[in-house]
Amino acid sequence: MLELFITFAKIGLFTIGGGYAMIPLIKQTVVDEKQWATEEELMDLIAVAQSCPGVFAVNISVFIGYRMKRLPGALMCALGAALPSFFIILAIAMFFSRFRENPVVASIFRGIRPAVAALIATPVFRMARTANINIYNVWIPIVAALGIWLLGFSPVYVILIAALGGYTYGQLIK
């Protein structure tokens, strides 16, 4: 149980940029090092975590913890994933108002933004490879992203349409 907590506390402590930025470290730790899940299982967990309410990284940690040690494992992993961020945000909130106008601090945050974008983009491309996105089906995520971004479609509808499309496609193949 302590190993679950410490594992996700390290992941929560050493990733900047939110849940999607945690994906590379989660994959490295959970799939490559600890072998608590396969890459395909992690892809499924990511899909479910995205469609569930709540914090993405905490959702993934709960799924992994529940798989390993049921409810106590889920609680330990959730605490491990959430507590480092909580304490960091608490510390920043206590001091940020004093430093937000500081040109050095403002420059640091402007420099961090592209790095966070890269941290988010990297797992997207890896997930695309794992999900077998190729030249024939690349239009699906592109249309989904454009529908959300340009047309303002709700991600909930995009997920429901994708699920219906996947089910229909699976039935047609049989």
Q: Tell me the pLDDT tens digit for each residue of 80-111.
A: 988 988 888 888 888 777 777 788 888 888 88
Tokens found for residue 155 = 């991600």
Residue 37 phi/psi, 5-degree rounding, is: -155, 160
Which H or E run includes 149?
A: helix 139-149
Domain boundaries, the chain: 1-102, 133-174
Q: Give the C-alpha separation, 146 to 141, whole Å.
A: 8
Neighbours of 109 (CB within 10 A): 9
Q: Are 123 and 27 in contact (CB under 8 A)?
A: yes
What is this structure's pTM?
0.59
Q: Tell me the pLDDT tens digit for each residue of 118-127.
A: 877 877 787 7
Query: Is pLDDT of 174 > 70?
Result: no
